Amino acid sequence: MQKPSESKKKKISVTDIIFYAVITILIIYALINKAPQFINSQKLKQVNIEDLQLTGMDNTTHFMKEQKGKLVLLVFWASWCNPCRQEIPVLNELYKKYSRQNKLEIFAINTGENINQIEKIKNEKNILYPIMIDHNGELSNKFKITSIPALVFIDKEGKIIKINFGYSFFLKNEVKSLINKK
């Protein structure tokens, strides 16, 4: 028969192992998915949003100057990027809720992928917002995009507020807060 203190020691050590395993997994997950990093908009003052043109998958041109009065999200992504794919339902929800009220526009910007691959993921994930093509990576370079997903937040006056790199668990709250900001 075991002494009570021996079985208690075993429980504590198993609990400790489980605790440290969970913490390790969370740290690895954050590192792999690049916990959100931010770029101060001061570094991007030279980017002229007013003249920015985006080309859609269907070759339609969208002009940023037409988006004034709304919050704009430029979402840099790729179909093979798991965190990008995880953001799609959140972005769809935000787009459904706020674009009808003319408060938000979302443009997904894909660099370097073939149109068929983009179309496939668009249909699989039922992407509601427009998808733009950054043919030669000019937009990625202009906004200094170094990893994806990356979200460029542009305020109602057409000024860059910030850029988030990595999946953001707080995206809904961030967008709601910026839309409600006077």
Residues 15 and 46 in one domain: no
Domain encompassing residue 121: 37-180
Residues 150 and 125 in one domain: yes
Q: Which amino acid is located at 133 in the chain?
A: I
Residues 6 and 76 in one domain: no
Q: pLDDT tens, 81-119?
A: 999 999 999 999 999 999 988 899 999 999 888 889 999
Q: pLDDT tens, 156-167?
A: 888 888 888 888
113: closest CA among 129, 137, 89? 137
Residue 142, token pair as written in the block: 């202009």
Q: pLDDT tens, 36-61?
A: 444 444 555 556 677 788 888 888 88
**Cis amide linkage into residue 83, ω under 30° from 0:** no
Residues 11 and 80 in one domain: no
Q: What is the reported pLDDT for 11?
A: 54
Tell me how many domains the chain contains: 2
Q: Rounded to whole angstroms, how far apart are CA atoms 163 and 28?
A: 23
Residues 23 and 99 in one domain: no
Residues 13 and 64 in one domain: no
Residues 94 and 175 in one domain: yes
Residue 104, token pair as written in the block: 């938000």
Largest Cα span, the chain: 80
Residues 119 and 94 in one domain: yes
